Amino acid sequence: MNPLARRRLGRIALNAAGVAVFLFAVFPVYWMVATAFKPNDQIFTTSFIPFPSPPSLDHVQRVFTKGVGELPIWQYLLNSTLVALSAVVLGAVFALLAATAVARFRFRFRTSFLILLLIVQMVPAEALLIPLFTMVKRIGLYDQLLGLIVVNVGLTLPFSVWMLRTFVAAVPKELEEAAWIDGAGRFTTFWRVLFPLVAPGLVTTSIFAFITTWNEFVFALTLINDQGKYTMPVALKFFVGQRSTDWGGIMAASTLMTIPVLVFFLLVQRRMVSGLVAGAVKG
Amino acid sequence: MTDTSTLARGGADTSAPSRRGRKRARGSGLPPKAVPYVLLLPGFLVIAVLLLYPMYQMVEMSFHKVGLRQIKAVNPAPADFIGVDNYESVLSSPLFWSSLRNTVVFALVTVALTLLLGTLVGLLLNKLGPKMSTFVVVGIMAAWATPPTAQAIVWKWLFDSDAGVANWMLNLLPDGLSRLLFGHSDWSGQPWFNDTSTLYFVLIVAVVWASFPFIAVSVLAGLKSIPSELYEAAKMDGSGAVTTFRRITFPLLKPVFSVLVVLSIIWDFKVFTQLYLLAGGTTNRDAFNLSLWSYAEAFGGSSPKLGLGAAIAVVLTVILLLITLVYVRQIVKTEDDIR
């Protein structure tokens, strides 16, 4: 074989491998969405039906009207959004202050604090479940969304500080010094100079925290009892247990849960890798 | 990262601490030295109350007998101190060995497969043209973004005994080949979730599917940072693909790999959500790993044994901390290098 043909063959093989990886990665997600739009007779069959033909909105409609359990899926989407947004907003304030401290100042316990951030992330969150459960129960926040919000602030904070500090450190100090020389106070310098420049990093960090909280399963399962307060992951688990044969409805609900995460992922994907490799742990 | 600005602001005060810098600290009455501590305090308190104190409590509970009466909201009974009884029960339980085996075997197999597949895909992405590369990256992003709950549900559906795509595909295999490989040729109605080994097989596939994209994209980022001159020089010297990987790519990516290995170990050691959903809760005790066993003892039955659950959690944490000490050392070293 001449070198040119060999190279072309090599190129074709590489592209074929690329397509194979793409299919392996996408097929399960595609299958989830496809099943959600298939009428039941195309779902429960031993033959392979690649596309819903014709697509049916029955399952999507059913999870919105009749719902999961006795409640329409709106309720769970709303609970999840409420928990994730509150945890993110609260966490962002704490994280920004702490990240500014470790990125902008040199003080006695700085290194100890950074090491602490790493170590608390090594402890599996599942291990903290039992003490946090008793604590939440004791202070009367069991079965309350507020309890779940508070716990999620704690779970996401170490990673948020860790990630945000690199964004703060990337803002040139000279800008703050210039503002300082011009007579701006400490708060004005922070709010008018540093904050706008760190804002994109804060958004990225917050999206991370949002996804972690949105996906969080075991605490939501343990700290919430009332069905009306279930978050999406727990509602899905309940759905699977309750109507294990309604795969169309289950897939419609799973798709609804996945969409926001997918959108956020595409928004932050480029910063994702540097943030994670810079040293921390997902949820 | 350095603190020149702080010094510039607070430098004069360190030589005259008695004035406490009040005049210099415009807009706030804080002495400059206190500023970082004030900024840090709220976050530190959150971490202390929600992570450090529970860690201490987890250890304490593991030495006590904690049941329903001890966790009542209204005047709970004090927990009896029982020494290392919980640990003795853990270590003497047959569930300990099966859970430990499931945890370790799952983590080893999954970490190995994830790293292998992720690295290969990372190398592939580096070789592909820009359009094809973007196409594949967007594709693997879909797997990565799927929430763990949805992951488990989708793979459960793919491996459904009657209507699952997996059994349909296996039925496509030539009968002779299928019989040679698996001992039977008819896959219709083949259940996957009754038996612990096939359950874990699906779990491994699901977790590898969801985690290889992160490895691939990280490896790709690492590869992009290697100067192309090195490869040109290797090529001139007549180095083959394997030698180039072994002598150039791998050594330069070693820091990235070591971080990825430890991260993967941490994630796969404590897998919970996917296992819980695939195993259908806490009824199948054979399928327990340490996380699920701890959960099952503390919340699974009508008589919760929170002390015992805490002891299992301590065992899992100690194993993980030992493994991750390596990682912390690595990070602290890089942190020093940055400075």
Give the pLDDT score at B212. 96
* Chain B contact for A33 (CB, 8 A cutoff): no
What secondary structure does DSSP assign to B28-66, as a single string?
Answer: S---GGGHHHHHHHHHHHHHIIIIIHHHHHHHHHTTEE-
pLDDT tens, residue by residue, A43-63: 888 888 888 988 999 999 988
Distance from the Cα of B64 to chain A's closest Cα (Å) equals: 12
Buried (b) or exposed (e) across A256-274, using 16+ Cβ within 10 A? bbbebbbebbeebbebbbe
User: What ipTM, to 2 d.p.?
Assistant: 0.89
Nearest to A107 among B36, B221, B334 (CB): B36
Give the pLDDT score at A120. 84
Q: What is the mean pLDDT of chain A?
A: 88
pLDDT tens, residue by residue, A18-29: 999 999 999 999
Window A:46-65, CB contacts with B under 8 Å: 46-48
Give the pLDDT score at A158. 92
Q: Which CATH class is domain A63-277?
A: mainly alpha
Q: Any idea what DSSP says for residue B247?
A: I
**pLDDT at residue A281 greater than cutoff 50:** no
Please report, for residues B52, B87, B103, B281, B291, the alpha-carbon distance to residue B308 in angstroms, rounded to integers and kept in the order given: 20, 7, 18, 19, 12
Q: What is the 3-state secondary structure (H, E, C) of A176-222?
A: HHHHHHCCCCHHHHHHHHHHHHHHHHHHHHHHHHHHHHHHCCHHHHH
* Chain B contact for A238 (CB, 8 A cutoff): no
For chain A, percent of residues with pLDDT exceeding 90? 52
Domains with residue ranges and CATH for chain B: 95-338 (1.10.3720.10)
Q: Enumerate the residues of chain A whose CB falls inside 8 A of the CB of residue B4.
A: 173
CB A179 within 8 A of CB A192: yes
Give the pLDDT score at A273. 57
Q: DSSP 3-state helix, strand, coil percentages of chain A (rounded to 5)?
A: 80, 0, 20
Q: Enumerate the residues of chain B whose CB falls inside 8 A of the CB of residue A207.
A: none
Please tell me the pTM assigned to this model. Answer: 0.87
pLDDT tens, residue by residue, A57-104: 999 998 898 877 778 999 999 999 999 999 999 999 999 999 999 999
- Of the listed ranges A151-165, A256-270, B265-279, the one predicted with least confidence: A256-270
CB B278 within 8 A of CB B193: yes
CB B264 within 8 A of CB B114: yes
Nearest to A130 among B50, B263, B298 (CB): B298
Give the pLDDT score at A261. 92
Query: Contact B149/A177, CB-based, under 8 Å?
Result: no
Give the pLDDT score at A19. 97
**pLDDT at residue A275 greater than cutoff 60:** no
Closest Cα partner for B88 from B62, B70, B69? B62
Q: What is the mean pLDDT of each run of 10 residues along chain B (339 residues)?
A: 39 40 53 89 95 94 87 77 91 94 96 96 92 91 94 95 90 86 84 93 97 92 85 87 86 83 86 94 91 92 88 92 75 60
- Quick one: closest CA in B to A112, which residue? B332
Of residues B249 and A37, the one with the higher pLDDT is A37
Give the pLDDT score at A39. 92
Give the pLDDT score at A276. 53
Query: What count of CB pairs under 8 Å joins A to B?
Result: 326
Q: Report d(CA A44, CA B171) in Å as an integer.
A: 17
- Of the listed ranges A214-228, A263-277, B13-27, B64-78, the one predicted with least confidence: B13-27
Backbone angles phi, psi at B81, to 5 degrees: -80, 125
Q: What are the structural domain ranges in chain A?
A: 3-56, 63-277
Give the pLDDT score at B31. 84
Query: Contact B39/A98, CB-based, under 8 Å?
Result: yes
Give the pLDDT score at B287. 93
